[in-house]
Every structure is written in C-alpha cells, then in structure tokens.
A and B are shown apart, each in its own frame.
Chain A
Amino acid sequence: MNRLLITPIVRGVPRSSILNRVLRLALPVCVLSVLLLYPLAHMAAAAFKGAAGEFSLGPATRMLGSPLFLRALLHTFEIAATATILCLLLGLALAVLFNLAPFRGVQVLGRVVDTYLAFPSFLIALSLTFLYGNAGLVTALFARLFGADPHAASFLYGFWGVVLAEVTFYTPFVLRPLLAGFQSLDPAQIEMASSLGEKPWGVLRRIVLPALLPALLAGGSLCLLLTINEFGIMLVMGAKNVITLPVLIYSEAVQQFDYSGASVIALGNAMLSFGLFALYRTSLTGLSAGLAR
C-alpha cells in the first residue's frame, strides 16, 4: 500500500475522541484492578498490621531483622547470580557454536527453544533427581565406575543442585535473544575483518561480543529476574538448607499461617523484582534500537 495515495483520502475521516478511546480501556483496567491491584494493596496493608488489626511496624521489623529472612535474601542473591552468570556463559557458547556451523535445522531449533520456554520448571527439578539424585542414573554410574560411596548424600539437594536445575531451565531464555542478536550482525563486517587478517577469536571479541551486548543484557536481566522469583524448582528439589525468598513466603503463609510475616517478605521480594524488571525493559529497548540500526 502506498502511504502517499492513502493519506489525502483519510484526512476527512472522523476518529473517535480521546475521551472515547480512554473509556474503552475502562473495562480491562477495572478487571485488572480487582484481580491484581486490589489484592496487592491488601497484601501491602497486611504487612503493616499488628495482631489486633491495628497499624504496626512490628511484623516488618521483626521479619526484616530475623536471621531467617537475611539468610533467605543472601541465598536468593547467590543462587540467582550464579545461575544467571552460568546461563549467560552457556547460552553464549551455544549461540556461537550454532552460528559457527549454521545448519538447516536452525529454524526448527528456534521452535524447540520456544516450546521449551512454556515447560514447567519443576519438572526439570524432578527429572534431575533421576539423573543426579541419591539413586539417580549418573550417581549410580559414578559409584560403579569410581567406587564412590553410593549412599553419600548427593550434591543435588543443596546449592549446586538448585543452580544446575536453574541453568538447565533458564538457558533458553538467554539463548533466544542471543540467536536474535546474531541475526542482526552484518556478515559482511565479519568477512571483512577476517579477510583483513583478524583471527576468529579476535572477530568474536571485537565484533560479535559488542554487537551482542544488548542481547546479553536483556537475556541476563530477564534470567536474573526469573531466577530470583523461581519457586517450583526449589519446592520440588526440597533443598532445606538453601531457602530463598519465594520459598520463605510459602512456608510462612502455608505452614506457619503467618500472613503478615509472609506479606512483608513478599513486599521485599517485589521491590527487588521491580528494580530488575526496570533493568530488563531498558535493555530490551536497547536491543530493539540495536536491531533497528
């Protein structure tokens, strides 16, 4: 369609007024307010409620100062940061390998990655217990090959087990923007560099990595956000000594029936997430600006 041809005809058409357009939004916004904003406000209020229902900073100070909360905060950060760094490294390695040797299945690969993103994370945790758990395949194989004690507790139920499950599940979230980032690279630039004598490693460092920086940032901050809020993996893995904030929310609310305490943790967790989400949105804007270039 040619814009020049259409514009003069359209000029006379009355469009609905701003007021009219805002009114059309009223229904979805109202529904979302009841389903989301109202409950969140309620939860925020519950965080500042004493035993008799009065306003009180008691639950907040008690919870935020407790070693339980501080340990959970520390574990959340440690696990999320470690998993994100490993996801970025693995995602980058996979993306580079797939682009070193492009094959006809790349389109299929994209779809596989997309389907994988819709899978529930807790099933990864479950399947890893069959591989590395106390009676798992790899554990038994190691016991047979190297004579390791088959009854020793597996690493899976601690820090590294959770990290392994999160890396397995979240690497595709990094891989997808990275594959898209590779698409935005100009092959001529790379051919030019290598024909001028640049080694593959130099091309990677000086051309590919800078161009992938927005994708790395976007993928990394999404990954950090999702790993901080990850719950299913933690729950199914049952790692008792590395409790994170989402698990603490669950155990305070469902096992201790302490709704104000749980609300305080949920609020703290939400603050953390919002900061990261803002980071994700800004790097995404950077990514689309990079693609447009």
Chain B
Amino acid sequence: MSMLVYRPCTRQVARLAALGLFGLIFGLPLAILLLAAVTGQWNGVLPTILTLRHVRALLGGDQGASLWHSIATGLAASLIAVLLGGGGALAARDLPAGFRRGLDALYFLPIALPSASIGLALLITFSQPPILLNGTVALVVMAHVVLITAYAYANTRAGIETLPAELEDVAGSLGASQWLALRSITLPLLAPYLLAAFALGFALSMGELGATIMLYPPQWVTAPVQVFALTDRGDIYAGAALGVALLACTFLVLLLLNRQKPRILRP
C-alpha cells in the first residue's frame, strides 16, 4: 500500500520513526528485564556487577518449583479449556442464533470481569460445603480454566467459520454418521485452531496473577506469585530472572505449537 506520502526521503524517516518508537516502547522493557536477570548489583546507570546466581537459582528451590507449578497448571488448564471451549463451540455450530448469543455471553463473561473477583468468587464458594476445595491445587486449575476458556471458545468458533457449511452434510449424504463426519473431517480441519487455542491458553495461564494470588495454596506457588513475592521483599533481580524464565517457557511452547499454520479451506 502506498499511502499518504510518496517522497522516498519522508518514507524513510517515517519507517525509522515507526521502528524506533516501537522498539523504544516495547523492546526496551524486555531488554532491561533480561539485563536485570543477570545483575548482581546496580548502583550507577548500568549494573556494576553481573552474575549468573539468579539464573542458577531457577534450577532448584522455590523458583524452580514455582516454574514447574506454572507449567503443570498451564498444561492442565489449557487442555481442559480446549475441551470445554472447543466442545461448546462445536455444539453451538448449528444452533439458532438466539441460543448462540446466549452461549457467547456465558463463555465471554470471565473476560469482562476482573480476575481478582473470579478468584474471590471461587475462594468464597469452595471454602464451604458442599464442595470443599480450599487449599487444593484443583482450585488454582479451576480458576485458570475459567479465565482462559473464552479464548479457546473464540478460537474454535473462528475456525468453524472458515469451514464450508455443507461439508458435514456432504459426508452425511455419502453415508457417514455424524460422529464419523466430526471425527474424520471437521476435527482434522479444526486442529490448527485448537492448537492455537491451547497455545494462547497456556501463555495466559503462565502469566496469570490476579486470580491465583487470591486462592493459591502454600504448597503450589506459581511463577507469577513467586515473582511478586520476590520483588515485594526487595529481591528484584531474582524476580527478574524468574520473570525472564517464565517468558522463555511461554515463548518456547508458543513457538512449538505455532509452527503449524492454519489451513484455510476455501469453497
């Protein structure tokens, strides 16, 4: 698109300005976080002592455990969310519009709420009979599922919209049962979208702080809660190192799962 400005010189300036601004605003914080992760002492403009102490601490102790807790929670929660959100989206695909709008409202409800109040609601409800889950890992996973299911639902819905509506009918007219059509046609075509939903859910779960901090049990401190605990008691460089490790784990999973590009079927 050639837009607004045609002079090459002005364009070059705009390009540099755009990239510079983008890098300054979004790149600089990430770069500084990386630097802080290997900082031992920082008295001047730049760190005075660099160390790998905080990075090494990630392999064991509280930091290592919290990373593992986050990864396990993220995997479990995003798997459940894909089943719950994807299942709902699949079930909704040939419903009347009124039903679908109601279902949308139900699935998107948690996006519109502050995560702390989701945490509060779960904490109040499951700290008293009939269901007692106070102090269990299940409560953390439940909170994460509630918060990320909307994204799994939205992603699956987006995938379903790329499929031709007649696809399963054609299979049906050729004698396939509904279950066979779903299993051998619709699900394989939706696989990239379900994978993307899983990846996004995992990333969001890895960074979840608001609901987790309301209800985490002491034996299941997740990485974001640990980062907060570390920085709150002044151990900011250890916090930065754990933050970087958190980002690295998230990024790795996103990279692994996003290698498959969505196949778009055009009628």
Binding site for B on A (CB under 8 A): 1, 3, 6-7, 9-10, 12-13, 15-16, 18, 21-22, 24-25, 27-29, 31-32, 35-40, 42-43, 46, 90, 93-94, 96-103, 109, 112, 115-116, 118-124, 126-131, 135, 137, 140-141, 144, 168, 171-172, 182, 185, 187, 190-191, 194, 200, 203-204, 208, 225, 228-229, 231-232, 235-236, 238, 245-246, 249-250, 253-254, 259, 262-263, 266, 269-270, 273-274, 276-277
Once A140-B45, A235-B228 are accepted as A-B contacts, the answer to whether A36 and B110 lie under 8 Å apart by CB is yes
Q: Are A101 and B170 in contact (CB under 8 A)?
A: no
Q: Are B91 and A24 in contact (CB under 8 A)?
A: yes
Q: Is B140 an interface residue (CB 8 A)?
A: no
What would be 10 A-B contacts, judged by CB atoms less than 8 Å apart? A1-B267, A29-B88, A37-B106, A38-B125, A118-B200, A126-B33, A127-B29, A141-B45, A190-B3, A208-B4
- Most chain B CB inside 10 Å of its own CB: which residue of A126, A204, A276: A126
In the bound complex, what is the Cα–Cα distance between A28 and B91 (angstroms)?
9
The SS class assigned to the A binding surface is helix
Neighbour of A13 across the interface among B32, B172, B227, CB < 8 A: B172
Contacts of B110 in A (CB 8 A): 36
Q: Are A190 and B224 in contact (CB under 8 A)?
A: no
- Most chain B CB inside 10 Å of its own CB: which residue of A13, A40, A129: A40
Neighbour of B142 across the interface among A35, A90, A124, A266, CB < 8 A: A35
Contacts of B247 in A (CB 8 A): 119, 123
In the bound complex, what is the Cα–Cα distance between A98 and B25 (angstroms)?
15
Q: Are B1 and A99 in contact (CB under 8 A)?
A: yes
Once A42-B121, A43-B121, A187-B2 are accepted as A-B contacts, the answer to whether A273 and B114 lie under 8 Å apart by CB is yes
Neighbour of A43 across the interface among B4, B44, B125, B243, CB < 8 A: B125
In the bound complex, what is the Cα–Cα distance between A198 and B21 (angstroms)?
28
Contacts of A182 in B (CB 8 A): 1
Q: Are A232 and B15 in contact (CB under 8 A)?
A: no
Q: Are B224 and A35 in contact (CB under 8 A)?
A: no
Neighbour of A140 across the interface among B28, B44, B172, B228, CB < 8 A: B44
Contacts of B122 in A (CB 8 A): 35, 39
Closest A residue to B126 by beta carbon equals: A39
Closest B residue to A20 by beta carbon equals: B178
Could you list 4 further interchain pairs (A-B, Cβ under 8 angstroms) beyond the known A6-B170, A25-B92, A122-B224?
A13-B169, A15-B169, A97-B15, A120-B246
Once A22-B99, A100-B11, A127-B29 are accepted as A-B contacts, the answer to whether A232 and B121 lie under 8 Å apart by CB is no
Neighbour of A235 across the interface among B5, B173, B209, CB < 8 A: B209
- Interface residue stretch chosen among B52-60, B61-69, B187-195, B232-240: B232-240
Q: Are A231 and B146 in contact (CB under 8 A)?
A: no
Q: Are A168 and B4 in contact (CB under 8 A)?
A: no
Neighbour of B112 across the interface among A135, A249, A277, CB < 8 A: A277
Q: Are A187 and B1 in contact (CB under 8 A)?
A: yes
Q: Are B239 and A126 in contact (CB under 8 A)?
A: yes
Neighbour of A28 across the interface among B11, B87, B170, CB < 8 A: B87
- Most chain A CB inside 10 Å of its own CB: which residue of B17, B113, B214: B113
Shortest A240–chain B CB gap in Å is 13
Closest A residue to B239 by beta carbon equals: A126
In the bound complex, what is the Cα–Cα distance between A37 and B142 (angstroms)?
13
Q: Are A130 and B36 in contact (CB under 8 A)?
A: yes
Once A21-B94, A122-B227, A259-B124 are accepted as A-B contacts, the answer to whether A172 and B26 lie under 8 Å apart by CB is yes
Contacts of B22 in A (CB 8 A): 94, 109
Q: Are A13 and B173 in contact (CB under 8 A)?
A: yes
Q: Is B71 an interface residue (CB 8 A)?
A: no
Neighbour of A39 across the interface among B29, B94, B111, B125, CB < 8 A: B125
Contacts of A245 in B (CB 8 A): 114
Q: Is B137 an interface residue (CB 8 A)?
A: no
Query: Which B146-160 residues sit within 8 Å CB-CB of chain A?
Result: 146, 149
Contacts of B96 in A (CB 8 A): 18
Q: Are B250 and A118 in contact (CB under 8 A)?
A: yes
* B218-233 Cβ-contact flags toward A at 8 Å (1 or 0): 0000001001100110
Contacts of B108 in A (CB 8 A): 277
Contacts of A270 in B (CB 8 A): 112-114, 117
In the bound complex, what is the Cα–Cα distance between A135 and B106 (angstroms)?
46
Q: Is B76 an interface residue (CB 8 A)?
A: no
Q: Is B35 an interface residue (CB 8 A)?
A: yes
Q: Is B14 an interface residue (CB 8 A)?
A: yes
Neighbour of B243 across the interface among A12, A123, A235, A276, CB < 8 A: A123
Shortest A123–chain B CB gap in Å is 5
Contacts of B132 in A (CB 8 A): none
Q: Are A135 and B42 in contact (CB under 8 A)?
A: yes
Neighbour of A100 across the interface among B3, B123, B231, CB < 8 A: B3
* B229-261 Cβ-contact flags toward A at 8 Å (1 or 0): 001100010011001001100110010000000
Contacts of A102 in B (CB 8 A): 1-3
In the bound complex, what is the Cα–Cα distance between A119 and B204 (angstroms)?
7
Shortest B168–chain A CB gap in Å is 9
In the bound complex, what is the Cα–Cα distance between A119 and B209 (angstroms)?
12
Q: Are A120 and B207 in contact (CB under 8 A)?
A: yes
Q: Are A246 and B117 in contact (CB under 8 A)?
A: yes
